[in-house]
Structures are given as structure tokens and as C-alpha cells.
Amino acid sequence: MGLSETENVHPCPAMARFANRNFILSALATIALTTLGAFFVPYSFSLPRTVEYWAEDARRALMPRAAPQDSRIVVIAIDEKTISGLPYRRPVDRGLLADVLETLSVSGPQAIGLYVPLTDATEPNKDQRLFDVMRSLPLPLVIATAPPEQTLTQQQLVYERNYLNGLRSGPALLGKDGWGGAVRRMVDGATVDGVWISSFTAKLAEVLNLGRADRRRLAYHGVPNMNTRPFLTIPAHKAVGLPAKWFANKVVLIGLDLNDRDRHHIPGGWLNAPPENRMSGVQIQAHAVSQLLDARHLPGSNEITVLLVAFALCTFGSLLALITVGPLARAGAVVATVLGFVVFSLAVFHWTRAAIPVAMPVLGCLTAFALMRAAVQRFAQGKRDYLRTGFSAVASADLARQIAHAPDAVTLDGENRAVTILVARHADFAKLAEALPPDQLISVQSAYTAGIGNAVKAHGGVLQRIDADRVVALFGAPLHQGDAPSRAVRCALAIDAFAEGYRERRMTNAGRIGETLIGLHSGDALVGNFGGDAAFAYGAYGDPVDQADRLAMANAELGTRLCASAATAREATDVIFRPVGRLRWSGIAESIETLEPLPESQSDTSELEAYIRAFRLIQREDAIATEEIARAAVIAPNDPLCRLYSKRLSQGLPGTVIALAG
């Protein structure tokens, strides 16, 4: 008797798929990549890390752990009621600060932290009194200075330095992490002008003999109930004259507690919370000191645990994709898995206070499920669901995705298109090649080329050619880009910023590597795949390529690093340019009007205004042009174009038409 149709079917269709070796490799790759992504992405990107923080914050908000008020710390708060009784709101009245410090001087606290800005002079007699009191205190005193990111005038910087000279002080640094800037970490210091400066927190830990204040996660102190603060907080106007027992053997922190100053987001708070619902800097410092006094660390999961959780969830997500049930049942299984894992994370947090990652493992599980479902469908149908295309190596990610989804929309056989060409040349590469051994040269150049390539892709360009000392990029093809010139110019500015930073960071045995000289030109060119079937080589051919290359090389004679043609500058309306002149090459009939693109930081400066004013006079061959360019050179002594035109005028070369070697 023959087999029935049912008997011909494999008893487990999902397992039958494993007979395909490619499917097994695909499954293993899916699990590995999603696991590594779930593990590494939060460490590499701010937004996923912030999502994990929010998931952790939600658990702490749902299951808070009560704690008694920390009696070792007293906060003397300069609050709204204190300020209302003072003659002015800011700066803080120095007489009040002196009164508070004198009260504390006879009360015997362990240490005093003054977390109040002292960057401006007030009333001379009060300033002098506080100056004297701070220096006569018989107690350890640490004073917070302005953090490096705070913009101060030179006068304020000098005043603060002189006023606090000889006293123990450190910048008021707060470790903000993630998208939204919640204060999640202690900060032990910062490097300012190449010098390491210990933070206010670190200096306070030092005087309290608490060891080194590292960059650990902040474990905020709990409260016994909603009506009690974590630390005894006394308004500054009531602290003066209080009995010594209030402060004896305490760590006393004095700081602002105002709605309009020094308020910060903390974990668990709403991102758009009003200032009054945020925490003051002095209260955050109190939490840090409390944590250091207890030698506490925020409970967390170690890397092995996080990796195992991600692996387990991604593997389970892949297995869910293999079950032979209907779409609704499969979706229900995925939802049940996610909810089960969330409940599991809540249980772990309840018993251990360790917040294992939730968002990225769940995302990894869903990603693994989706990828495995795609693989199941692909292998079940016996089809290849991928495209062999060379654009994945040379084009932006967005462009590569569009080509992969609709390859017929791209013409590879050749067409005339309006494009913008960017040429980036590595100056002095030949000297570097002679001076360095091959392995060092390749190491230096590969990282350099990778940085340029990343910038091109990030701005939607195509890498047309990469030589040892030159990169050619194409914008506006194969897909139409209405803003191709703007993309190219912004890309050039990004490459310049990267290359200059790379020059500063990457020193070689031959010294600093050469500058990157960039040229840009827009126009009609023939574009297509010039490599045919032998090798994918999509690019452009024509005048824009030649002109961009000439402009890149022209930088060497002009002293600049970026030159763009007027054809490009006219279309890049979102970028500021300054005129360079009309360049004319020996042996080439056509000259080209050239401009220099500028970063936003240089788009509205006195140096730019002075240069443009001088350039217009030089262009008109005005008699006072020499005087004006000299004035511009004084304002910007390092400006290469000021030097260029000063030299030209001194040699009797008027106007802005510049002849260059062919």
C-alpha cells in the first residue's frame, strides 16, 4: 500500500529546514549578530543607552526602596525664601555666606562644601569679609568652581581664580549621560588645557578620606516617605546661629536651591519636567557624598550576565520563528515571550536591585525573530532574496538600500547627469611614503581613507575612486539629489574637520601627516558603470571631475584646504562661502571663479567681514586695498588668504585673478 499525502510530509517541517546547510549558517549568524547588537549597541549609541536607562528608571519608580534620612549630611539651601530677604538675587550675598561659614566654624562639622558660584564681584566689604572667613576657617573647606563647559568671560575667570587662590576647589562637574541629559554618574575631574583638574566631588572625597571619587553610577539615596528629603535641608537664612549640635561631625553642603538656577534632570524624572521638579546641583552632590560614605555602587549586571541574557532571548526569538503555527499564534508567542521577560526582569530587580537590560534584548529578540522568519520564507521557497551589487561598498547606506529594493530605477549603462564632484587629496603623501615603513604607512592611510569614506557615505555620496593619495566622490547620482551641491560641501567640511583632527591625533615617525586638500565642482558629466561585468566601477567622467581635481591641487598654492567653484557655491545655499578669486591655469583657456566654504563657527565673525571688505577693494583695484588687507591680516594673522593677497599686492599683482601652474 502506498504512502498517503500526510505520510509524505516531514513529521517536523521546521526541523526539516535544518537539512539546508545555508539555512543553518544563516540561523547561527542571525543569533550571533542580534546577540552582539543587543549587547554592544547600548555601549555605542546614546539613544539605545538612554532607552535602557528609562527602562531601569521605570523599575526603580515602580519598586522604590525606602531608606531613612541620611543624618551624616546637612544641606544648607539658599532657597527662594532666603533670596527674598536679601538685597539682590544674584550673585548670592557674600555677607550671608560669611555668616553661615562663621556659624559652622564653631559647630565642628567634618567638612564644608560651598557649592555657590563665586565668579563676580559684589559689595567690596562683603567680598573681603567672605574672602577672609574662608581662609580663617579651622575646618576642611571645598569650594565649587565653574565647570569647563560654562561660558565665562575672561574677567570672570580671572576673578574666580584670584578670589579662590590658595583654597581647595574643584569644578562643579555632573555626569550627565544618555539622551535627555539626566545626571547618572559621578565625575572625578576633567582635563582643561591639557591639565587634569579634580572635581568638587573628588576634592570633597579627599578631605573626608573616602578614597578616589571615580566615575561610578550614582545610587541616589532613598527616602522613608514622600514628605521627607533624603538629607536634612535647612534654609540658609535659618542656619545662621543654630546650635552646634545641628552640624557637629556632619558633612555640610551649602548651595543654591532655586527654581531658575542649577536644576538638573535625574533618573526617573520626566524629560520635560519643569525646573521645580528637577534636582539642584547641591542636592545631587549630597547624594554623591552619601554614596561615597557608604562605599556603595549601584547594583547592576556584569557583562557576562548581560551577554547571556541577550543570547538567550535572541535564540528564543529565532526558535519562535520556526514553530509551525499560524501568524496570530506566532505573534501571540512573541508577545508572551516579551511580557515574560519583562516580568522576569522585574522579579530580578525586586530581589537583587540589579536592573538587567530590557529594551535592547527585547529588540534583539524581535530582530532575530524577523530575520529568521525572512530566512525561513526565503529557504522554504528556494529563492535568493538578496542582490549582488557593488553599491554596498561605495555608496551611502540609504542609497544602497534604495538600489537593493529597486535596482531598475538606476541606470548603469551611462547617462548625462548634473552632478557635483568632490576630490580630496592627501598632501605630502609621497614624502610620507618615503619616510614610513610599509606597515605603518598602510595603517595611517587606511584609517585616514576610512574616515573620508565614512563622511562621504554619511552625506549620501558615492565613492568613485580611492587612490593612495586621492579620494574622488560623486554626489547627485545614481539617484537624483536636488541638494547634491549642499551635500558635497557639507561633506567637504566634515572631511576637513576629520582630517585636521586626525592630523592632531595621529603622529608618525616622520611627524605630522600632511593636510587634506579638497576641491568641489558641479556640472554635467557622463555617469555609469565603467567597469562593466569585469569589475563594478560606477562613477562620472567629464569636466566636473577635472575641475574638482584642479581645485583640490590649487589649495597647495593658495594656502587653503577647501576650494569650491562658483557653480557649486551657487547651489549650496545653506553654507557660507568667502571669495577666493578667479583661478587661471597655465595652458588652460577656461578660468574658474572660486570660493572657500566655511564652517558655521566662522560664518559671522569680524575676521570674515574684514577679509570680504578687503577682497572687494582688491577686486576693484582700489588704492586703499593694500591698507585694508593689512588690517584684515592683523585681525586674522593665520588666515592664508590674507597672507596670499598681502604678498600679491606687495609684488605689484593687483586684482583677484590668480594664475596657477597647469
Higher-pLDDT residue of 331 and 402 is 331
pLDDT, one tens digit per residue, over 603-629 is 778 888 888 898 999 888 888 888 888
Q: Return the higher-pLDDT residue of 13 and 348.
A: 348
Binned at pLDDT 50, 70 and 90, residue 387 comes out as very low
Is residue 459 within 8 Å of 493, Cβ to Cβ?
no
**Within 13 Å and on the Cβ side, how many CA atoms surround 569?**
18
User: How many beta carbons lie within 10 A of that of residue 351, not counting itself?
Assistant: 8
Q: Distance between CA 506 and CA 412 in Å, rounded?
A: 39
Q: Is the dihedral of CA 178, 184, 186, 192 positive or negative?
A: positive
Q: How many angstroms separate the CA atoms of 240 and 415, rounded? A: 83
% residues pLDDT > 90 (the chain): 38
pLDDT 10s digits, 113-153: 999 999 999 999 999 999 999 999 999 999 999 998 888 89
The grid coordinates listed for 149 are 563647559
DSSP state of 88: -
pLDDT digits (tens, 9 = 90+) for 246-271: 999 999 999 999 988 889 988 876 66
Q: Which residue has the cell 568613485?
A: 464
Long-range contacts of 239-242 (CB under 8 A, 24+ apart): 239/76, 239/100, 239/103, 240/96, 240/99, 240/100, 240/103, 241/103, 242/103, 242/107
Hey, which bits of 482-550 come out as E strands? Answer: 507-508, 511-512, 516-529, 538-541
Cis preceding-peptide flag for 91 (omega within 30 of 0): yes
3-class DSSP assignment, residue 98: helix
pLDDT band at 406 (very low <50, low <70, confident <90, very high): low
Residue 492 corresponds to which amino acid? A
Of 419 and 59, more confident: 419
- Residue 272 is given by DSSP the state T
Cα–Cα dist 4/251, whole Å:
85
Instruction: DSSP for 110-152, please give it.
Output: SEEEEES---S---HHHHHHHHHHHHH-SS-EEEEE--TTS--
What domains sit in the chain, N to C, each tagged with a CATH number? 5-44+300-381 (no CATH), 63-294 (no CATH), 411-558 (3.30.70.1230), 574-662 (no CATH)
Long-range contacts of 1-5 (CB under 8 A, 24+ apart): none
The pLDDT of 294-321, averaged and rounded, is 85
pLDDT digits (tens, 9 = 90+) for 269-287: 666 667 777 899 999 999 9
